[in-house]
Amino acid sequence: MEIKTLKNYKELSSTVADIVEYTLTLPEPKLILPTGSTPLGLYKELVNRQLDWSTTTTYNLDEYVDNTIQNQSYRYFMMENLFKHINMDDDNIYFSGDTAVWPDLSYGTEVDLCLLGIGGNGHIAFNEPGSSFESETRMVDLTEETIKDNSRFFPSINDVPTQAVTMGLKPIMSSKKIILMANGKHKKDILEQAMYGDITENIPASVLQTHTNMETFYCD
Ligand code: GLP
């Protein structure tokens, strides 16, 4: 598994934007999308390119449970940074937090492209260390490390929700193509462990080594 190191964050964002742009030319494309700070440049670039999203369906990876800070929901993040700027049909936007769509997010969805970031402890979506590689979409407890990492987006650490709904590792792995993005030196060590180390449920992202159509892009 190769980690492709790009010049800078701009190049990381535009490289992944090229792959998304190609995917949008497929018939009725289906994409899984992440939140976090890493995809922000990508979403900006995609908005600037004014692409046609009219036949696209998207599934978001995860959402907090019982979040009281309204503008920190992942739904809000996606609306603000992507959906309100593109011509997506609202009916084709799915969020993991909507329990009604869990079955869709667990079984048989033919996803063309899944985009991922990586958490400091090797989580993908909110599949924390110890998550089964066979896990389906479900509600999970967040680890202390993740709560601490994500507290930078909240007024205080006490405002960070302790639970989330996450797409499982199994539906993520059933995507036809997966791109993992990591931005910053602080991600390098966990990224190398995930891509070059043992395949272990202690580092959920390590399961990606077993995918046959997967690329990893990094910049520091
Ligand atoms: C959160 C999200 C993940 C994301 C991770 C990394 O925990 N649930 O999907 O990959 O943060 O975020 P960042 O890109 O801000 O480092």
pLDDT at 70 over 90: no
Domains in the chain: boundaries = 3-219
What local confidence, expressed as pLDDT, does residue 96 receive? 78
At the top level of CATH, which class does the domain 3-219 belong to? alpha beta
Q: Which two tokens stand for residue 61?
A: 């990876």
Catalytic residue among 123, 127, 183, 215: 123
Q: Is the CB of 36 under 6 A from ligand 1?
A: yes
Percent of all residues in the chain with a pLDDT value above 90, rounded to a whole number: 86
Using CA atoms, how far apart are residues 26 and 106, in angstroms rounded to an integer? 22
pLDDT at 95: 86
In angstroms, the CA 79 to CA 43 distance is 11
Token pair 């995918």 in the structure block, residue: 211
Give the per-residue pLDDT at 1.
80
Q: What is the pLDDT of the chain when averaged over all its residues?
A: 93
Q: pLDDT at position 66, please? A: 86
Q: Going edge to edge, which strands form the sheet with 3-5?
A: 3-5, 214-219, 178-183, 113-116, 30-33, 57-60, 93-95
Predicted confidence (pLDDT) at residue 103 exceeds the cutoff of 70: no
Q: Quick one: which of 64, 60, 27, 6 has its CA closest to 181? A: 6
Look up tokens 């958490």; give the residue: 119
User: According to the model, what pLDDT value does residue 147 have?
Assistant: 95
- Alpha carbon of 104 to ligand 1 centroid (Å): 22
Reported as a single tens digit per residue, the pLDDT across 73-102 is: 999 999 999 999 999 999 999 887 776 666
Read off the DSSP letter of residue 206: G
